[in-house]
Amino acid sequence: MSSLNDYLELVRAPAVLTVIGDTLAGGAAAGHRLGGRRTLLPLASACFYAGGMALNDYADRGTDADERPERPIPSGRISPNKALAAAAVLTLAGLGLSAAGGGRRAAAVGLPLAAAIWTYDLLAKQHPVSGALTMGSCRALDVLMGAGSAKLRPALASAGLVGSQAVAVTVLSRGEVGGTTTTTASGVAAGTGLIAAALLAGATGPRGTFPAVLAATAAYAARCAPAQIRAARSPQAKNALEATRAGIRAMIPLQTALTLRQGNPAAAAVLVSVDLFGKAMRSRPGKMRISES
């Protein structure tokens, strides 16, 4: 009998927190305020992400039997059929919540987002370039879902930055078992610098917001750059894994900077709270493995 903890491990529960800010960033860019039914959109993102993780393990069950036998499916704690059912239910929940939270304009983005997630896990991830780009498109679409189909243009920059971070994480995650390369890790570290520069260059919101954007941007870079540099210096598997985890966790300060530069401190405050909660979860004994691969 599968336990709740088994399912939480299957969907990478701590990592789910890092997707909540996508729609907040997209909504802030489009001028939407957080409140009312729009509070359902972060939950839609969480369902999409969790469903993608369940589908990821379903698709990788053969490889994981050799490389990650401790995961829920190869260890026998969750059957492949149950994992696939969980992926389908969570994806449908994400679609329903996107429609409930943002109406047809959010649902119009939620549909291609769901398609991109399933494409990544079942097809694209087998190829390094297409896999990374498809994962990046998933996160970019998640940001755009927060803006809605009628206001995509103002949110394109935010979507591009979050998508770029996802591409970097996905590239590094391919080295979690066999190790990465100095060139790959160095390129990802350089990408972090470019994303940070873009965050500051786009800080044109209300007067007085630049110091807050600067602080959030510094937190983003500090969260992931050191691990990326370590992986570049010593590209072994454990360093690639830690750099991957750091890149996932850095999503939250990245999203915070994006909401702040749009003059939405309320959304930024929510993200700071989510970040603190995530740190508390990771500090608990027996913490779950965090990975997007």
Give the pLDDT mean for 239-257: 97
Give the pLDDT mean for 252-278: 95
**Residue at 246 is within a domain:** yes
Closest CA to 289 of 46, 37, 71, 51: 71
**Residue at 287 is within a domain:** no
Task: Report whether pLDDT(293) > 70.
Answer: no
**Residue at 293 is within a domain:** no
List, in order, residues 6 or more apart from 109 with CB less than 8 Å away: 98, 141, 144, 145, 147, 148, 149, 152
Report the pLDDT value the prediction gives residue 291, as an integer from 0 to 100.
43
Task: Report whether pLDDT(285) > 80.
Answer: no
Among 48-62, 239-253, 275-289, name the one with the lowest average pLDDT: 275-289
Q: Say if CB 170 and CB 135 are below 8 A apart.
A: yes
Report the pLDDT value the prediction gives residue 281, as an integer from 0 to 100.
80
The total of structural domains in the chain comes to 1
**Tokens in use for 219?**
């937190």
Q: Say if CB 111 and CB 121 are below 8 A apart.
A: no
Residue 19 belongs to domain spanning: 4-282
Opening angle at CA 130, ends 127 and 135, nearest 5: 110
Mean of all residue pLDDT scores within the chain: 94
**Residue at 235 is within a domain:** yes
Residue 291, sorted as left (phi over 0), alpha (psi -120 to 50) or beta, turns out to be beta
- Distance CA(223)–CA(250), nearest Å, equals 5
Closest CA to 15 of 45, 50, 63, 62: 50
The 8-class DSSP code of residue 287 comes to P
Task: Report whether pLDDT(70) > 60.
Answer: yes
Residue 283 banded pLDDT, cuts 50, 70, 90: confident
Alpha carbon separation from 162 to 18, 40, 89, 106, 175 (Å, rounded): 11, 20, 26, 18, 21
pTM equals: 0.94
Task: Report whether pLDDT(1) > 90.
Answer: no
**Residue at 288 is within a domain:** no
Give the pLDDT mean for 259-272: 94
- Distance CA(293)–CA(290), nearest Å, equals 9
Report the pLDDT value the prediction gives residue 206, as an integer from 0 to 100.
63
Give the pLDDT mean for 72-95: 97
- Distance CA(188)–CA(168), nearest Å, equals 6
**Tokens in use for 131?**
């896999």
Give the pLDDT mean for 99-124: 97
The 8-class DSSP code of residue 17 comes to G
**Residue at 119 is within a domain:** yes
Report the pLDDT value the prediction gives residue 246, as an integer from 0 to 100.
97
**Residue at 34 is within a domain:** yes
Reported as a single tens digit per residue, the pLDDT across 135-194 is 999 999 999 999 999 999 999 999 999 999 999 999 999 999 999 999 999 999 999 999
**Residue at 64 is within a domain:** yes
Give the pLDDT mean for 37-52: 98
Q: How far apart are the first and last CA of the chain?
A: 26
Reported as a single tens digit per residue, the pLDDT across 195-219 is 999 999 977 666 568 899 999 999 9
Report the pLDDT value the prediction gives residue 282, as an integer from 0 to 100.
78
- Distance CA(194)–CA(88), nearest Å, equals 36
